[in-house]
Amino acid sequence: MAKLDINIPDLTLPDGNKIPLIGYGTGTAWFKTDGNSPKDQKLIDAAKLAIKTGYTHLDGAEVYNTEEELGDAIKQSGVSRDKLFVTTKVITNIQDIPGAIDTSLKKLGLDHVDLYLIHAPFFAKGDETALQQKWAQMEEVAASGKAKSIGVSNFLKPHLDAILKTAKVRPAINQIEFHPYLQHGDLVAYHKNKDIKIAAYGPLLPITKASGGPLDPLLASLAKKYAVSPGEILLRWVIDQDIVAVTTSSKEQRLSDYLRVFTFKLTPKEVEEISDAGKDHHFRGFWNHIFDKEDRA
């Protein structure tokens, strides 16, 4: 399939760096539970295909055990490093963040990542000092140049409040599960207020794992109006709120279709209608062992 002639727009992070508004994920479907298992050639090929299709923002994490595959794909893609935006995250080796970034960079075959995230705050079990100490180590990683930007993932207000009390460098972004069926109350407004950007993972969950909900008819009618798929409407709903969408697919057609989101825009009223319809239903696809079933935080 030919590369679409689409320029993926960026979002400017609070530190001035720019992040492409759509990212290709190497977790979920690609996740390997055993770090010693052989390299997954299918992922190398899929990530190369994503880059060839036009994706420049690539999302990884040490816990996915797929950094080597991502590194191989980057190397084999022939695209120059400065044209790519690479994210990875720390959680398995959270006790030793300086060691963890070195290991991740070695696996990725890179000398720096564009974005380094604390994958989740739950290790701290509510201990503010533990979160603050880990954030200070993230600041050291940024100072060393091994990560251009630093941020967090799955942080809620109390976790962000804790690190902001002592942060010298504020988190540039928080990567959270975000879709119409999980809007987290006023968490988006909080981020705007604190000047922290958001990246949304699981943006397609309302049609992949939670289909049959109240959004279906609205997604279908908007998809018809814009001559796209319901998935593209969901990605656009995220992007129209200045939120980065992180998705993934092994399918060339879908990868290509999802880049069409940059050829149309929802009206503010349509964004609001999707938000309103989504609020009638609750679905969380990840970290369910941490949250109660009805917890919408």
Ligand X SMILES: NC(=O)c1ccc[n+]([C@@H]2O[C@H](COP(=O)([O-])OP(=O)(O)OC[C@H]3O[C@@H](n4cnc5c(N)ncnc54)[C@H](OP(=O)(O)O)[C@@H]3O)[C@@H](O)[C@H]2O)c1
Q: Which residues pair with 90 in a beta bridge?
A: 118
Burial string for 131-161 (b: 16+ CB within 10 Å, else e) reads: bbebbebbbebbeeebbbbbbbbbbbeebbe
Q: What does DSSP say about strands 113-118 and 22-25: parallel, antiparallel, or unpaired?
A: unpaired
Q: Which residue is nearest to ligand X (CB)?
A: 25
Question: Using the rule CB under 6 A, is 184 a contact of ligand X?
Answer: no
208 is a site residue for ligand X (CB under 6 A)? yes
Nearest to 110 by CA among 57, 149, 68: 68
Query: What does residue 36 show for φ and ψ, rounded to 5 degrees?
Result: -95, 5
Q: Which two tokens stand for residue 36?
A: 């010693």
Binding ligand X (rule: CB under 6 A), the pick from 53, 88, 137, 175 is: 175
**Cα angle: 182, vertex 188, 191; to 5 degrees:** 140
The reply on whether position 27 binds ligand X by CB under 6 A is yes
Q: Is 112 annotated as a binding residue?
A: no
Determine the residue type at 269: K
Q: Is 171 in the site for ligand X (CB under 6 A)?
A: no
Q: Check residue 56 for interaction with ligand X (CB under 6 A).
A: no
Catalytically annotated residue among 64, 181, 201, 258: 64
Per CB under 6 A, does 224 bind ligand X?
no
264 lies in the site for ligand X, by CB under 6 A: no
**Residue 258 known to be catalytic:** no
Question: Site size for ligand X, by CB under 6 A?
Answer: 26
Binding residue for ligand X, selected from 154, 163, 174, 191, defined by CB under 6 A: 154
- Give the residue numbers annotated as catalytic, written as ranges: 64
- Residues annotated in a binding site for substrate: 119
Residues that bind ligand X (CB under 6 A): 25-29, 59, 119, 153-154, 175, 201-205, 207-208, 231, 246-251, 254, 286
